[in-house]
Structure 1
């Protein structure tokens, strides 16, 4: 594990409340992986065993329907921990597949560590973060127009707009790629008119 990746990973765990006395256990069971785009870290319908802390790259969780079309649940960027909360908490097989979208460096951590009672504070903090994130995502999708959603991403998550293609971005904000292209063109035109 590189010094930089180890530092980012341990800082992330400290921010979640991991006690210093347990850090050696965490780093000792962690594995550094370099992944190519298209690799599958968790197959849909399998049991989840690991979480992935992303040092570099981009991952996604998606569900493939009967026709093989992907329905994207979430995108995961640098400095995020990627795993499926529902599968972890219930022990059920994964409804989603975790895939590498862009070449990535990740730190793989066994999820069994989170079930250790000494990791209770980390578990509670992860669950709290996830609940807040889910509430924010619901509000994002339910209480805003597609234009407001796109403008929100531009302002608060510009990396998403830079790194996701039009199709990925459109599906995330709940519109078709054609509608997103029209929206972008209209906003660019409005900006041009306002600047004159």
Structure 2
């Protein structure tokens, strides 16, 4: 993907989120297209967050490393998503999570300070509204459903997750062990074979 295509994707995203055409040049002048390699760290846990990353291609994640160095994944971010930590942005606190590149990625980096510009109020409200809805949906996903229902929901509504995440990543996100996920998949595959006969 060319850098020009990355910027065009980013412009479409901003427009969909209410950016006025008259401000597009002001915003995109501060945007920087980047090509990133797997395992690159974009924000270290415990540091101040300065940038958001619009993903044109690739996969990012936000995770917290515990005292033993084990990662606890907060979220995965795919194409056409804006990746940054809303809580750190709104409070100005140091990041509790680290943002990393999981697969080679093309992103557009945007200074978060831009979103505090009063002229971008409409964009900020749009992003906050989307995040609130997403958080509510994620809470319901985790609290009100069994692991099997969570897996089936991803299968139906987010097939890209099943294509791009390995069993371990997927299992931890839906709250079960990789062994339990393998058993669940095998059982569901067996049931679908029986249903076909």
For normalisation by structure 2, the TM-score amounts to 0.98
SS at match of 1:180: helix
- Counterpart for residue 75 of structure 1: 76
- Counterpart for residue 181 of structure 1: 182
Equivalent residues in 2 for 1:29-48, closer than 5 Å: 29-48=30-49
Question: Can you list the C-alpha shifts for 1:163-192, whole angstroms capped at 9, x where unaligned?
Answer: 000000001101110100000000000011
SS at match of 1:119: helix
Whole-angstrom distance in 1 between the partners of 2:179 and 2:120:
46
- Counterpart for residue 12 of structure 1: 13
Runs of 4+ in 1 over 6 A off after TM superposition: none
Equivalent residues in 2 for 1:1-196, closer than 5 Å: 2-196=3-197
Please state how far the C-alpha of 1:25 moved relative to its aligned partner.
Answer: 1.1
Unaligned runs of 5+ in 2: none
SS at match of 1:3: helix
Unaligned runs of 5+ in 1: none
For normalisation by structure 1, the TM-score amounts to 0.99
SS at match of 1:130: helix
Whole-angstrom distance in 2 between the partners of 1:172 and 1:185:
19
SS at match of 1:46: coil
RMSD of Structure 2 on Structure 1 (CA): 0.7
Whole-angstrom distance in 1 between the partners of 2:141 and 2:172:
14
Whole-angstrom distance in 1 between the partners of 2:13 and 2:23:
14
SS at match of 2:29: helix
Question: Can you list the C-alpha shifts for 1:138-170, whole angstroms capped at 9, x where unaligned?
Answer: 000111111010000000000000100000000
Aligned length: 196
